[in-house]
Chain A
Amino acid sequence: MAKEKAERQELTPDLRKKKEVIQEVQDQLGELRKELSVRNRNTGKQDKAPETKLQDSDVLKALKTAWSDAFKEHQKEGTSKMKGFKQWQDFEKEMGGLGAADDLDKLLIALADASSEGEQVKAEVPLRLELNQLSQEISTGQKYLDTFPAAPLAERAVEQVDKLLSKLPPEMQEFLRAVILDFLANFGESFGMLDFSGSIRFRSAMEQAKGDTASLKNLKPEEQLEVEKARVDPVVRSALEGKWKVLHKKWAQRKKTFESSAQGQKFAEFPPTIFDVYKKEEVKPTPAPATTPAITALPGTPPNAPSTVTVTPGTP
C-alpha cells in the first residue's frame, strides 16, 4: 500500500491520469468477464449448442493457433528484451489478460463465428425488407433499399463508438476508440488485445514525452518500465497482424461464397468488414511519376504565399 502510494506520487499528473483510466477500464472488463462467465454457466442448454459448433469451427482453430503462436513469440522476445529490468512474470501479470477467460473467449468467438457465417445478415434481411415495405407506405416512391443498402456491421459499430465517446476529453476519446476498434477487429482475443492496445497508446504518449533513447536515464523507474514495454511492441504487433491475416482470409472466402448466393445479390456489402477499414489505412500512396513537376515551397516562405513551382530538368 505504502509502495503503491509512493509510486503514485512519483508519477506525473498526466501519467497518473492515464494509468487510472487504464486501470478503470481493466477493472470494468474484469467485471464483464465475471458476468459473462456466470451467464454462460447459468444458461445451460442454450450455450451448449454454439460450443459444440465451435469445436468444429475452422475460425476457432485458426484463432487459437494464431493466438498461441503470437503468445509464444511474444513471450520469447518479451523475456529477452525485459532481461535485467523486470521479470517476465511481473510483466505478464501487469499486462493481464493474455490468457483471457475461456468463457469470455467462447462467447466472443461464437459471436464472431455467427457473424462470419452470415447469421447476422440472415437475421437482418427480413428486418430490412420490412423497413423497405414500411418506407414505401410512407414515402413518395423512394426505394429504401436502393437509397440505404445494408451497411457493413463494422461501419455501424464505429458510428456508435464515436457517439458514446464524443463527450469525453479528446485524448481519452482517441485512446478508447483505438481500444474498442481493436476489440471489434479481433473478437475472440479482444481482451488480450485490449491490454496491449491500451498499453501501446499509453506508451506512444510516453515515447513522445521522452524524446530519444538518451533521455531514458533521466526517466523515473515507472517511466523506464513503460519504455521497456514499448520495446516489445513491434513483436506483439507483428504477431497479432499474422493472426489478423488468417482471420481476414477466412472472411474473404465467406464473403465470396455469400456474394454468389441469391441472398447475396440483394446486398452489395457483406458484414463484419472492420478488416476493410484497416485495409484502407494500409494503402500506401502511389509515388508521383518522374515526369511530374515537383512543387516545393522555398525555405522561409510564409504559409499563405503562393508556392514556387520547380520543374525538373528534361520535363516537357
Chain B
Amino acid sequence: MMDLAVLQTMIRESLLLTDAERAYWLAGLARMTPPQMDRLKSILDRARAIPWNAALKQTVEKIAGAAVQAATTAK
C-alpha cells in the first residue's frame, strides 16, 4: 500500500512540476486508485533521477542549509 504522506512529499519537492501542477496532483490524489498512485510515484522517481534535477536540488539545499546553520549560530 502506497504511503500517501510520502507521495505528497514527493509531489511538493518534485522539480518536474510547477506550483500549479503540484496543487493539481495533490488535489487529485483523492481520486486516484493505488495503481495510479504507483504510476505517479514512478514518474516522480524518474524525474528526480534526471542529473540536472538532482544536482540542482543538492546544491540549493546545501547553500540554504548553510544559511540556516549560520542564522542559528548568529542568534
**B-contacting residues of A (Cβ < 8 Å)?**
17, 20-21, 23-25, 27-29, 32, 107-108, 111, 114-115, 120, 123-124, 127-128, 130-131, 134-135, 137-139, 147-148, 151, 153, 155-157, 159-161, 164-165, 167-169, 172, 176, 179-180, 183-184
Nearest CB in chain B to that of A25: its residue: B66
Q: CB distance A155 to B64 under 8 Å? A: no
- Once the chains are docked, how many angstroms separate the CA of A121 from the CA of B68? 32
Q: CB distance B66 to A111 under 8 Å? A: no
Those 10 A-B pairs whose CB atoms lie nearest each other, nearest first: A28-B66, A24-B70, A164-B64, A21-B70, A151-B18, A123-B50, A24-B66, A138-B31, A17-B74, A25-B66
Nearest CB in chain A to that of B22: its residue: A159
28 contacts between A and B (CB under 8 A): A21-B70, A24-B73, A25-B63, A28-B62, A28-B65, A32-B62, A120-B52, A130-B43, A131-B40, A134-B39, A135-B24, A147-B24, A148-B20, A148-B24, A151-B18, A153-B15, A153-B52, A155-B18, A157-B15, A157-B56, A161-B60, A164-B60, A165-B67, A168-B67, A172-B71, A179-B63, A180-B63, A180-B64
A287 CB to nearest B CB, Å: 35
Nearest CB in chain B to that of A130: its residue: B43
- Once the chains are docked, how many angstroms separate the CA of A160 from the CA of B17? 10
Tell me what chain B mostly uses at the interface: helix, strand, loop, or mixed.
helix
Q: CB distance B67 to A138 under 8 Å? A: no
Tell me what chain A mostly uses at the interface: helix, strand, loop, or mixed.
helix
Nearest CB in chain A to that of B57: its residue: A160
Q: Contacts of A147 on B, CB cut-off 8 Å?
A: 24
Near A by CB (< 8 A), chain B positions 12-38 give 15-21, 24, 28, 31-32, 36
B51 CB to nearest A CB, Å: 6
Q: CB distance B60 to A160 under 8 Å? A: yes
Q: Contacts of B40 on A, CB cut-off 8 Å?
A: 131, 134
- Once the chains are docked, how many angstroms separate the CA of A120 from the CA of B31? 30
- Once the chains are docked, how many angstroms separate the CA of A157 from the CA of B55? 11
- Once the chains are docked, how many angstroms separate the CA of A137 from the CA of B18? 21
- Once the chains are docked, how many angstroms separate the CA of A183 from the CA of B56? 10
- Once the chains are docked, how many angstroms separate the CA of A107 from the CA of B66? 21
- Once the chains are docked, how many angstroms separate the CA of A156 from the CA of B16? 8
B15 CB to nearest A CB, Å: 6
State whether A24 and B31 are in contact (beta carbons under 8 Å apart), knowing that A123-B50, A160-B15, A183-B59 are contacts in the complex: no
- Once the chains are docked, how many angstroms separate the CA of A176 from the CA of B64? 8
Q: Contacts of B74 on A, CB cut-off 8 Å?
A: 17, 20-21
- Once the chains are docked, how many angstroms separate the CA of A212 from the CA of B70? 30
B10 CB to nearest A CB, Å: 13
Contacts A137-B36, A183-B59 supplied; 13 other A-B pairs, CB < 8 Å: A20-B74, A21-B70, A23-B70, A24-B66, A24-B69, A24-B70, A25-B63, A29-B63, A32-B62, A108-B55, A134-B43, A156-B15, A176-B64
